[in-house]
Structure 1
Amino acid sequence: MPITLEDLKNTIETLFLSRSQLDAALESTALSDEVERAMSYINGGGSLDWEYFNRILIAANLGPVARPLFERYFPRGINSAEKLSEGLSGFMKDALLHFGSFHQAFLRMKADVDVLPRVEQTFGSETRAPFALSNPLKVEQLAYLGYVSGELPVRMAKAHKTILTALGAVPPGEVSGDSIRAAAKAAGFDLEKELATLNEGLEQRSSRQVTLEEFVDSKDDVQRSIDQFVEEVRRCRKAGIKNQEQYINSAAEMDVYVATSMRDDRDYREMNSFIDQVFGRRDIDRLNLRYFDPTQAYCPNKYDKGLVECLMIRCAKVTIYCAQRQDTMGKDSELAITLGLGKPVIVYVPRGDTAEDRATYDRRARTFADIHPLSLQVNQTTGNTNGIILVRDANQCADVLYALAKNQLKVNVTRQEEEDHLSGEKTTYWVLREAVTGNNSVIRVATGWKHLRTAFWSAFRPDLHIP
């Protein structure tokens, strides 16, 4: 099928701010003549090679490119509109993914044909030695590493002591539920609250809960249960510290940091299940990735915990941000810092088990996809924009993680226009969206505002002239 001038315009239009700008570029006699000759050659059965392509670039005042750069995007030459489209699409994706603008990508790749292989990377390997924790905790023990759930035995012991104090204030022979309540009230204790804390701990231990009257006869048994509870939490936290030490030892080789904010047993169970589903999937498991599992690690104080998390963010290639019912400033900061370092962030928003949860999580997903202020950051080293990749389940997360690890992330480039109805101004920009999950997350943006583009890249790359 012959290639026409309209085919050519439709293929390369996305590179320009508008069709009128494209038409203006083609008004040059030198360029239009060279393009006419090229189309005639293709329509006669020919295929544009590197030398022929460079003649067109020179006519367009862009200058020639090295043969390896031409062959990267047009390995078999250009003999149809389809081949031209395939090559240009590949260039646009590389340009936005790695450089932040078509202009900068062309200039840098033209100056150094090896720059792209240096910015691409893979991680994980089937030949890599596997990594395993020496002190893994069972799922029912994980919440003991939390600063809320893990403090339950301490609160339980205090409640036990408070009730015993009220009991000790009752004269011998007059002990009853009413007399204990009266003694507690006189001492300013909320006896029902203390008893509820005690029973919360007993329930956690799968022990029978007690009434106040039953407590009098079973206080020694309750004390033994508390002592056993404290000892189990102590063992779990020591194991969590050892696990943390293993992660610290492996920080330099860390591939994935999982950011969560867990408070209770439900949070720990949900996160443990999600992590097992993602990293236990066969194709991910074969990569032998090093990943930080926060459900298995413990730090005795918040400052060390913060330093460990900063270390993991700095070393890991990817951060998985797990949106939960309650999030924290610290976790949001981890998302922003990772993006600012130029690394991918996968944001996992669950679908929810109940109607209320589903509605809540759907709103959160829309917020991350469309309006979250941290969903797009600038890489502070390169100046390239960096956006999140939204996933809604463990399988989507594993799909994206595998694509990132193998450097096979599928993306689409579109040119978009937006009009401000009050000012009447129309702006143009390019977006790069991931095409793995169907969520169409925006991971790169390039401005079409020439003034801003020149000022922006002059700040980040003063060594390059960005028109």
Structure 2
Amino acid sequence: MEKQEILEEMKLFAFQTGGFGKWLAPETDDEILDRLGRLDQENLSKAQLNQLLAFGHEAPFSDAFFTYYWLSVPKEHPYDVTTIPFFETEWSESLAIMSLAHLKWGLYRLYIDGLMWVVNVGAAYRQFRSMKTEELVAYFSERRFNSQLIKNRGPSLPLTQIPIDQRFLISEQACKSYGGYPDSPGELKDALLEAWRAHRGGRGARITIRNLLEGDFIKKEFFERQGEFIFSADDVLEEPIESEEDIDSKYQAAAVKFFRARNSGLNNTRMYLSMVGELDVYVATSMRTREDFRDMARTCDTVFSDVRLKDLCLRHFNPTLSAAEGH
């Protein structure tokens, strides 16, 4: 294989910031690339790989490290290493790296382990490279979860479900628009009424809520909050307005949905706090549009309702089901 072909094959494992991945960068020593170019025809031994690392200014590794990452399928590892890309069964019975794909498989595992359980890949290599077999096995065994103990916990108290299409209403933007309490009209309603009066003052006729919120009055008087109002009123944007009474009725219909969703979200937050000591998964995200909320809700439902996880009754924080008192 030519130099550029090898670099392309190995680009996933090359870092621009130096460290362990630098030995597979464009400035890599030609000796390394020449040897890797013959790898599919000539097996790469542990001694030779250590030499290649030396050419790349990396410290050597132990026999145990080489065997663990390239010549074995450790049953005690936290994940099934045979599911890692490129794996071939014959590698677990070999004495050397048999192909470029074989080299990539071991590196892939090391990179996952470094990112999952150590600060970074370079730090992981420095930590693992001199370990003995029993030390590597013990290290990763400790990072496995006892799934039977998790199953034995049983389910937590149920959350209050919110229709996926209404989960955007638990957002901070919606809370600011509708206010904290049903009996105190939110600023969205005030803005709509003011915009309607300005529209009528200019002898304007029937108009949609969208056009009111996207119009010049809102843009001028509520410029910093225009996007927030449009987001919060998404359910009624295409509703026609011919009077202040129309605004009141359309707003009330939207507000009812908001407070129903918000109260459910607040109750769910209480539930999450009650199990914070046993929370298994915290889903962190940023949701800025209604579609973001839909996508995240579907993603959480897809992942955590999977039949392969059902028996674990995982306690996971779903950000589309939780609201905070502070906003």
- With normalisation by structure 1, the TM-score equals 0.37
Q: 1:267 to 1:115 in 2, by over 3 A?
A: closer
Q: Is the 8 A contact 1:247 1:292 kept in 2?
A: yes
1:149 touches 1:265 (CA, 8 Å); kept in 2? no
Q: Find the aligned partners of 1:266 and 1:93 in 2 and give their Cα distance.
A: 34
Cα–Cα, structure 1 residues 14 and 161, in superposed 2: closer, same or farther, change >3 Å? Answer: farther
Could you tell me which residue of structure 2 aligns to residue 297 of structure 1? 322
Query: Separation in 1 of the partners of 2:74 and 2:296?
Result: 42
For the pair 1:209 / 2:230, whether they are aligned, the reply is: no
2: CA distance, partners of 1:85 / 1:200 = 59
Do the aligned residues in 2 keep the contact of 1:139 with 1:269 (CA within 8 Å)? yes
**1:377-414 deviation digits (Å, cap 9, x = unpaired):** xxxxxxxxxxxxxxxxxxxxxxxxxxxxxxxxxxxxxx
- Does 1:117 find its partner at 2:108? no
Q: Equivalent residue for 1:158?
A: 190
Whether the 8 Å contact between 1:95 and 1:102 is mirrored in structure 2 is: no
Q: Secondary structure at the match of 2:283?
A: strand
Measure how far apart 1:178 and its partner are. 5.9
Q: Structure 2: any 5+ residue segments left out of the alignment? A: 1-40, 56-61, 65-71, 76-90, 119-123, 179-185, 206-214
Aligned to 1:235: 260
Q: 1:206 to 1:120 in 2, by over 3 A?
A: same
* Corresponding position of 1:17: 51
Question: What is the Cα deviation at residue 269 of structure 1?
Answer: 1.0
**262, 283, 299: which one pairs with 1:258?**
283
Asked if the contact 1:148–1:264 (Cα under 8 Å) also holds between the matched residues in 2, the reply is no
1:82 lines up with 2:93 in the alignment: yes
Equivalence for 1:333: none
Q: Is the 8 A contact 2:174 2:231 kept in 1?
A: no
How much does 1:121 deviate? 3.5
Task: Give the conservation status (yes or no) of the 8 Å contact 1:95–1:105.
Answer: no
1:114 and 1:201 map into 2 onto residues whose CA distance is: 52
Asked whether the 8 Å contact 1:92–1:102 carries over to 2, the reply is no
Q: Percent identity?
A: 18
**Which blocks of at least 5 consecutive residues in structure 1 are unaligned?**
1-6, 22-59, 64-70, 75-79, 171-175, 180-188, 303-467
Work out the number of aligned pairs and report it. Answer: 223
CA–CA distance in 1 between the matches of 2:272 and 2:142?
Answer: 28
Residue 177 in structure 1 maps to residue 188 in structure 2: no
**Contact 1:258 1:292 (C-alpha < 8 Å) held by counterparts:** yes
Taking the aligned partners of 1:209 and 1:222, their CA distance within structure 2 comes to 9
Instruction: Give me the CA root mean square deviation.
Output: 5.0
- Displacement of 1:270 after TM fit? 1.4
Pairing 1:2-41 to 2, within 5 Å after superposition: 10-13=44-47, 15-18=49-52
Q: Deviations over 1:225-267 (max 9, x none)?
A: 3234334322321211111121122222222221211122111
SS in 2 for 1:295: coil
Bigger radius of gyration: 1
Amino acid at match of 2:169: Y
Determine the structure 2 residue equivalent to 1:269: 294
The one-character-per-residue Cα deviations of 1:119-145 (angstroms, maximum 9, x if unpaired) are 443558555423464311111221111
CA–CA distance in 1 between the matches of 2:133 and 2:44? 25
Q: Which amino acid aligns with 2:190?
A: K
Contact 2:173 2:232 in 1 (8 A): no
More strand per residue? 1
1:301-330 CA-partner distances (Å, limit 9, x unpaired): 37xxxxxxxxxxxxxxxxxxxxxxxxxxxx
Distance in 1 between residues matched to 2:144 and 2:233, nearest whole Å: 54
> Conserved in 2, the CA contact under 8 Å of 1:262 and 1:268?
yes
Contact 2:44 2:96 in 1 (8 A): no
Aligned to 1:401: none
User: Matched residue of 2:194: which SS?
Assistant: helix
Residue 300 of structure 1 deviates from its aligned partner by: 2.8
Cα gap change, 1:134 to 1:81, in 2 (>3 Å): closer
Shift of 1:81: 9.5
Residues 149 and 252 of structure 1: is their aligned pair in 2 closer, same or farther, counting only changes over 3 Å?
Answer: same
Render the CA deviation track for 1:56-105: whole Å, top value 9, x for unaligned.
Answer: xxxx9x99xxxxxxx9979xxxxx9934359x999988877367236745
Q: Give the TM-score normalised by structure 2.
A: 0.51
